[in-house]
Amino acid sequence: MTQLRIGMIGCGTIGMEVQRMLAVADWADVVGILVRANGKTIANPQAVAAPLHTSLDALLASRPELVVECSGHEAVDAYAEHLLNAGCDVMILSVGALASAERHDRLKAAALSNKRRIIIPAGAIGGLDFLQAARSAGLTSVRYRSCKPPMSWRGSPAEKALDLATLSEASVFYQGSARMAAIGFPKNANVAATLALATLGLDETQVEMMADPQADGNYHEIEAVSMAGSISVRIKAMASPDNPSTSLITAHSVIHALQRECAALVI
């Protein structure tokens, strides 16, 4: 492996875990983390091993080759295009931000004109290798269902549709396209957006979201049909102990995606 100079944006639940694992990786050097001046995006400042910056210019001065965004849609808006124009690859975790066609096209154009890349990790789902291959073989339908314990949906629009505190049975509160899911649930539909971008697109990929008081984890279910075959995937992802709406596997998915960027053998 070659050593990769990595910058980061945000140091919340996922960012903290990513930087912790990168700190002991011999193939990575975290050259800086961009955080808000008020420190609100830092989950545990004492555990951060990399330099902290409060301006994009300071982060760029540390010469990152690839910057990992793990701070939210606002960070994608504020920094992604500037980073691509500055010659950095950008890994986006807040994938739902790309549900805006204007933003998607603008960032893609910036990547192309600067010969850079926008990288999206798999996150909490699996089966993307089959699904992406099936897309060129004639993918005809893709459905995704997200089922989480009620309290995992706190702070989302689900609270307007359901009384999460007293819910006694599994209840669906959203059915529709991946695009509208990502727009309506900006902190909860990144998996749906990732799946859609890898397959039929944000308008043709169908999404269902539900809260289930009996759920003992965050469940992700995918059903897809293509000319090459069909696939049905059901994943039980354990929630992060620090944030029940985030799957524990997400940070590890980021590490896997980063390793692929500098590995001699890629699978």
pLDDT digits (tens, 9 = 90+) for 8-63: 999 888 999 999 999 999 999 999 999 987 655 565 666 787 899 999 999 999 99
Q: Are residues 108 and 32 in the same domain?
A: yes
* Residues classed as catalytic: 220
Question: Identity (one letter) of the amino acid at 37?
Answer: A
Contact predicate 208/220, CB 8 Å: no
Helical spans, DSSP H, in 23-153: 56-61, 73-75, 81-85, 101-113, 128-136
Q: Are residues 107 and 168 in the same domain?
A: no
pLDDT digits (tens, 9 = 90+) for 112-132: 999 999 999 999 899 999 999
Range of the structural domain that residue 79 is part of: 4-120
Q: Are residues 9 and 116 in the same domain?
A: yes
Q: Domain for residue 156, yes or no? A: yes
- Mean pLDDT by 10-residue block, N- to C-terminus, for the chain (267 residues)? 88 90 93 80 69 94 97 94 98 96 97 98 93 94 96 92 94 97 93 97 98 94 96 90 82 95 88
Q: Domain for residue 266, yes or no? A: no
d(CA 178, CA 180): 6
Q: Domain for residue 265, yes or no? A: no
* CATH code of the domain containing 18: 3.40.50.720
Single out the residue of 73, 46, 47, 71 nearest to residue 59, CA to CA.
71
